[in-house]
Structure 1
Amino acid sequence: MKRFHLKVDKSGERINNVELRSAESLDREEQSIYRLKVIAVDGGQPARTGYANIEINVLDLNDNYPQFSDNLYILNVVENAAPKKSLFKVEATDKDADTNGLINYSFSEKTRKQYGDFFEINKITGIISQNKPLDYEKFRSISLDIIARDQGIEPLTSKSTMIINVENVNDNAPQITFYETNSDKINISLPEDVPLETHVLHFSVEDDDGDENTSCSIRLNKTKMLMPYRLKKKEFSTEFVIETISELDHETSNKHVVIIECRDAGTPPLSSTVLFNVYIKDVNDNAPKFTLDIYNISIKENNQPYKPFNFSIKATDPDDGKNGDIIYSIKSDPYAAFQIDAKSGELWTTVSLDREKNSFYKFEVVASDGGNDENNSLSRSSTAVVTVLVDDENDEPPRFRQPIYNFTIIENKQSKTELGQLTVNDLDLKSKTIFQLESNSNRMFRIDSKSGKLFSIKPLNREEKDYYTFKIIAKDEEFPEMQSVAIANVIVLDENDNPPIIEFPTSGNETVYISKNTEVGSFIAKIIASDLDAGNNSNLIYSISHNDPENHFKIDERTGELFL
């Protein structure tokens, strides 16, 4: 490809001027010198030629950015290592010439502010030096932005990044922190009767070296007794708890000095040790004991309130002094119907009991001793169950299931026909009920005194009387007699037991006169009849039965009207 060409200026056959011109843009970095030979040929015969050698030097333009040898440098530095004058050397090149190709190195403004106290870079050589030791607990990884700048009139820059990973050194012992207090002296007080797995102490272990594999142990100081505590590490955590694993006994040892030692997994391993005191407090060892676990009592209903029963709840306590004094109370009485004497254990009711409302009561009584004294003994208690069965008295009347009973019977039914049964409820136990009619004036019905079944005494005639009402009594068989009353209504239903009665025509009035000129379809007379029965049984249908073979007459079957 030709990079140069000649421009010739002619006037006729004469050449006035010849110019050498570039055919395209030149890149000094590709080729900085061109050597050309220009040939001139005249038009004579034979033609003669002339030569001229031309050397073209391409001047530099600052058109290339500095290029680092790597876009990313990664370096590992051990924490606490002594500072180094030559930690690492970065290199960059620039294809431009002279000052356009000279490079100065520096950190970015952000890097200078963050890490200028720890690192510096030689602007000419690119050597990075460390001024201070690094601490892994402060810096796990450091990112330095490095700038390469050429010296052109309009300088160009490039950036590369150096990642410095700080390697950990085991230079910190585990730190033990108690959650219960900020003080280094821990004193724990526990009653001797605490249950197993009772929480004693909660602490955490932190290691600035980042070691999460710290192990801890506990031991008792200067004693051969069995360790009554255990250490548990919370899962996925640096927290530990200490809890009891056996019973504590104040009489055997009233103070435990517990030593905690935590050791990391570094090389060499580092450890920390702390101790705390556990003071075992004496307690009231014995709870009152009832003579029975369950007390069963029977009381007649309608008793007198606030009158003690001929019965007492009893408990004993082998402890001495206040710890042996017993106070009785009712723990739970949802009915609020009972009270107990705090000292004697005697029981009474606050209301008169009604077996029909509640025949059975169940509640708990508590016997508490007089603990919680100057020795910090805690009060102990025990419970017993009291069941009260309420005995029945005849204090409730038999009650009909409904105040009014309605019965029906078809007239002419034979005597002793059952109309139905009356029933009662008597809330008393073993009660027997007698049924009877209120008076003997009703001679049409009777009731069975035991079953409450109602019967007719004789056939009934609806046309004489279609409705009866009377009272029925239900009373106790035993003394004192208590009774209730219900109303019985009896409706007599119709039976078709009456024939129609023709009121017109009659034997004395059976003739109707019409004119011979009476037209067909004319009204002649109306047959009048009635029936003593009710409902459909009294609905009449009229018809001509005989003596009209040629059908001269017709009758309306509903109204009885007769037509020609």
Structure 2
Amino acid sequence: MFVNVRWRLCCILPWEVRFLLLLTLVGERVEGQIRYSIPEEMKRGSVIGNIAQDLGLDLKRLRSGHARIVSGENIQYTELKTDKGILVVNERIDREQLCGDVTPCSFSFEIILENPIELHRVTVEILDINDNTPFFPNKDVYFEMSESATVGAKFPVESADLDAGQNALQHYVLSPNDNFILKQHANPDGSKYVEMVLQKPLDREQHPHLSLKLIAVDGGTPQKSGTVNIDVTILDANDNAPVFSQSVYKESVMENTMKGTNVITVNATDADSGSNGVITYSLSKMKGSAADIFSIDENTGLISVSGQLDYEKDRKYEVRVEAKDQGGLTGTSKVIFEVVDVNDNPPVINIMSFSSPVSEDAHPGTTVAILNIKDADSEKNGQIRCSIDGTVPFKIESSLTNYYNLVSDQHFDRESVSEYNITITARDFGSPPLSSSTKLHLKISDVNDNAPVFDKNSYSAYITENNSPGFSIFAVSARDSDWNQNARVSYLLEDVQVNGSPVSSYVSLNSETGVISAVRSFDYEQIKELQLVVKAQDGGSPPLTSNVTVKILIQDQNDNPPQVLYPVQTGGSMVAEMVPRSADVGYLVTKVVAVDVDSGQNAWLSYKLQKATDRALFEVGLQNGEIRTIRQVTDKDAVKQRLTVIVEDNGQPSRSATVVVNVAVADSFPEVLSEFTDFPHDKEYNDNLTFYLVLALAVVSFLFITCLVVIISVKIYRWRQSRVLYQSNLPVIPYYPPRYSDTLGTGTLQHVYNYEVCRTTDSRKSDCKFGRAGSQNVLIMDPSSTGTMQRIQNEKSILDEPDSPLEVRRPWFGSEKAALRSGPYRDRRKHPVHRAEDRQRDSSRERENRPRAALWRHNTM
């Protein structure tokens, strides 16, 4: 935007009116530049123009953008009032001091605004006012002229005035005389000089001395004038004035020429002889800096450099050389010195604006800094190439003249690079080139663009059961590559259900450290593992999160003693196992079955015989708990045998349980009853023992008869069914006995095995045969043989295979005995599980005469 204010005011208007009219002249905005024209010598605080209005900005924008004047060699002359949006005079401006004879006279500066960054150039033109009276350097001018001076001889007179333009010197007036007239000339730069021309020969005899007045008049309103006295002394005849070989001399001089360097020699000749032909040279009085730059040898006319040349200040010098003879005649010539530029000024870098830190989510093309780069040299020496050293994501873009923008060239990532050291180099095109550099330290501010990351994809932790509440189990750790608050990680426990209860009722999580602690004591037998989800959340806005799964495994402790399942220990009754006196060595009396709810080696059980009525008769299997005879039973052995078996687990320390096994060595019930009536029961017997024995016998007899009837009925029914199956060729339905406890370490058989039990009247010779899962074994009763059972297979018997399952002997369990009392197998010979070995080892006569095993219970309550 350019605003030109021109002074074309009538001379009759007062100064104050002209000044107010000047301030009302404002142009329009064009391309971010405005121009004002003001007169010189304005008072401090005088308004130059309304910046806000001319730039189309409001006062709030000026204040928020921190509008300020940032450059310009003469910025001290102006001041920006952001609160009013006006530009005012800050210091008195003297156009003659500022610009001298240069026309037009102006100075420029820039106004910068931030957030967003804006740059505007302002040019202020200083208009001349007629404030200087034409002034001659000397009040008196002296001339010595020969009377023989020819008509038309010229005598130069010093110039006057300091103003410019219309107010500059317009013409000269010479006081009336008969000998001289004035002749005005104009220099190429517009300045004027005057010469007195002799129009009538001088006559020393009539007028040996002439006194004249030269008046210089300017073009101001009102006009001003200056006067100088000219004293002319008429000398005796000297008819020829010195004449230069050239009217104008031209010479080029390098601006770095040293003082004392000879530049050019001027030459003038005088046709006179003698002293009138002796010439001396001198430089006419010069204004400006030329008087300090050059000097001349008065005898030889050699002009040399006596001062410091500076192309940036003055590119051309004009000096006038005078040649004067002894008779007082002079000749003049002009010498023009053109200063040749040398690349002696490096570029000057000024940082107008710099934004640091810059957000890491700033888009490419964001302006980071505005630079003003100037080179005082000219042409190629003043042309600038701006570049960035190294590899950084920035580039330089040119905006206004001598202004460059530092802009981002790609997206930032603070986590990769948090700050940049940017070196900007400005280099000119001189030979050799000169350069200057400046460094900018730019920081990248963080944006919450990274979620916390756990150091593992999942965690596993172990804790031993029976822990104390508050025990620290494990600590999760997550890190966030952001910075400050955005990298502050807190931990949260996801609300999940464990066995129908919230996970917070089992563990707690420290939100700062990530330490997981137990809220209560764990029981491995109730819960074996916890699976929870931990969330890491940073402190950004909005926050970012990530999850990880933590599995807490409960480790077992040996905190449970073994539990005896069989034989059942009751407080008011006594259970006895019957062993026939014909039992051989290794006869299986019974089996102690125990379990341990612990796991691992804490559940590995071992059985030991602690006490026995006769230790030489019985032994207990260390691993399976089977009680067997270790010698042949004799008639001398006591009927009543009491064994105390201790069951120990393999924990550290181990735990144990004790079970008492009562064994009756007899072949018939009466013998058992007669002997066990006197069986002590540790103070549990009382005076009503006989009553309870009679009652027990009555109940047992009744149950026995009932079971016998039921067994016979079921046997007849099955016999008929089997006959029907044989005769009808119908597919046989498999029979799978119930699953019993295992005889191995933990006390249970694998449920994938089906097995059939063949029981003889001799439990020592009873055995269990296990078949592979899914084998088609069919158990049917053989009507042709009393108390026996045949096994019919649709395929090859697994017992005939070399790799068939082992035959495992098993005890006579209390549950089986109860089934015998109430089921079809009350007679042990008829039970299908005692068939296999009897068929191989016993004869038919021995099977028919073998006594039946019975379970006798005697109540002591």
Query: Which TM bucket (shorter chain)?
Result: 0.3 to 0.5
Task: Identify, as 1 or 2, the structure richer in strand.
Answer: 1
Task: Identify, as 1 or 2, the structure richer in helix.
Answer: 2
Which structure has more relative contact order (CA 8 Å, sep 6+)? It is: 1
TM-score (norm 1): 0.42
TM-score (norm 2): 0.28
